[in-house]
Amino acid sequence: MKVLLVGSGGREHTLAWAIATSPLCDELVCAPGNAGMAKLGRCADVGAEDIDELVALARKEDMDYVVVGPEVPLVAGLVNRLDAVNIKSFGPSAAAAALEGSKGFMKDFCARHNISTAPYSRFNDATKAKAFIRDQGGALVVKTDGLAAGKGVIICDGPDEAEAAVDIMMMEKAFGTAGEKIVVEECLEGEEVSFFALCDGERALAMASAQDHKRVGEGDTGPNTGGMGAYSPAPVVTPEMETYIMETIIVPTVAGMKAEGAPYQGVLFAGLMITADGPQLLEFNVRFGDPECQALIPRLKSDLLTAMVATSDGQLDHLDLRWSEAAALTVVMASKGYPGTYKKGSEIGGLEAAETQESIIIFHAGTTSKNGKILASGGRVLGVTALGGDVMEAKARAYKAVDAIEWTEGFCRRDIGWWVTGP
């Protein structure tokens, strides 16, 4: 099977790492890929958001299967375009991808199908949003309706901060068109987790859980980023909790999307808050998380590509997934200045020494290769992943590998996993 993998981040390197070892995969092409992915397959210079060129590439290369990593091409309808030329793919249709493409759609969907989520209201007018905020008082969360690369969420301690968030999104347009419409919701208290399930339009199959650290600073301080690290599994997601999440959130979502004429096929990533009243849905994502994927997939003992094809074929009732008992932890190394302004082109050394350490896998994100050297080309650049008997052991191994990497222009948080291991 010839497989085209769309994307260039740490998530996509992780998927490439798993797909390349599948007995189903004869050839892997990555578009556009990165320096790490280039070691696993051939890279094609086609952007992950260039829908026309991706379809043309899939047709020209006579691809058997396309795996779409990022959310933007999914929301833009890449799967629909591939279906139109009879090329099978992994990921939801544009209609189904609205679960992530519009936070307002997701919240309204939950209301229609009695799926637990925070009380909310939607706005396309800043003045009305601020009036609502003043009426509510207390802690609130302000979100862009559209896609904002994981950064369009501002947690606010009170009305003043919430009104400022409205201005940032709707007046200053800090998130572009994504902030033209917003959602304002009650701020839930509890423990946040990421939960993943495969969905074939009819059925859902639980994968595993993870927890990530979104804020740039240690102790979970500073602005939100795309994610500074993650670990899997999440201790709070017990077998009983997993069953409850599946029965009250995942399965009703699959049934609801089918009933509304947009069957959901692909991986469904539920961002949840485990509150005193049980799990509440914060958001849906229509792809694997990043960096959660880097901690999740190394624990998967089953063949990932086989699972993806079964999902696309509506055959999840014939599939079972096996998971390692080991824990995994990923530390993201980013360019200094991220998530703000940062420089590109700095050299990264010591990768071979780091990767030869026990139970270490280094996933590339924003990297390029030039004259045999690995250079930083993005904000989040590396995901240093370690496996261990528990989160504590995985954490110790991951940071030992981080310390072997020579990159003066990079930084990382030193406390990934602290919710489990302590600071």
HEC string of 150-176 equals: CCCEEEECCHHHHHHHHHHHHHCCCCH
Give the total residue count for the chain.
423
Residues 6+ apart with CB under 8 A from 328: 231, 232, 294, 295, 296, 298, 299, 385, 386, 387, 388, 394
Work out whether the CA dihedral 244, 248, 250, 252 comes out positive or negative: positive
Work out whether the CA dihedral 238, 240, 245, 251 comes out positive or negative: positive
Structure tokens at 274: 């485990």
Asked, colleague to colleague, whether 191-318 and 327-421 share their fold, the answer is no
Check residue 137 and give its pLDDT.
85
Q: What is the DSSP string of 252-273?
A: HHHHHHHHTT---EEEEEEEEE
The three-state secondary structure class of 7 is strand
Q: What is the DSSP string of 114-146?
A: T--B--EEEES-HHHHHHHHHHH-S-EEEEESS
> Could you tell me the CA-to-CA distances from 337 to 38, 173, 212, 235, 333 in Å, in that order?
27, 21, 20, 32, 12
Structure tokens at 241: 């909790």
Cα torsion for 260, 113, 71, 17, to the nearest 10°?
-110
Q: Are strands 327-335 and 229-232 parallel, antiparallel or unpaired?
A: antiparallel
The three-state secondary structure class of 308 is helix
Q: What single letter denotes the amino acid at residue 201?
A: G
What CATH code is assigned to 2-91?
3.40.50.20
| Integer Cα distance of 185 and 129 in angstroms | 11
Q: Residue ranges per domain, the chain?
A: 2-91, 119-186, 191-318, 327-421
Regions in the chain scoring below 50 on pLDDT: none
| Integer Cα distance of 298 and 361 in angstroms | 9
The three-state secondary structure class of 48 is coil
Fold of 191-318: D-amino Acid Aminotransferase; Chain A, domain 1 (3.30.470)
Q: Look up tokens 């086609």; give the residue.
A: 46
* β strands within 286-366, DSSP E: 327-335, 347-348, 360-364
Fold of 327-421: Glycinamide Ribonucleotide Synthetase; Chain A, domain 4 (3.90.600)
| Integer Cα distance of 325 and 327 in angstroms | 7
Per the CB < 8 A criterion, the answer to whether 224 and 149 are in contact is: no
**What class does CATH assign to 119-186?**
alpha beta
Check residue 422 and give its pLDDT.
77
| Integer Cα distance of 19 and 2 in angstroms | 11
Per the CB < 8 A criterion, the answer to whether 48 and 69 are in contact is: yes
Cα end-to-end span (Å), the chain: 46
Residue-wise pLDDT tens digits, 356-410? 999 999 999 999 999 999 999 999 999 999 999 999 999 999 999 999 999 999 9
Per the CB < 8 A criterion, the answer to whether 412 and 365 are in contact is: no
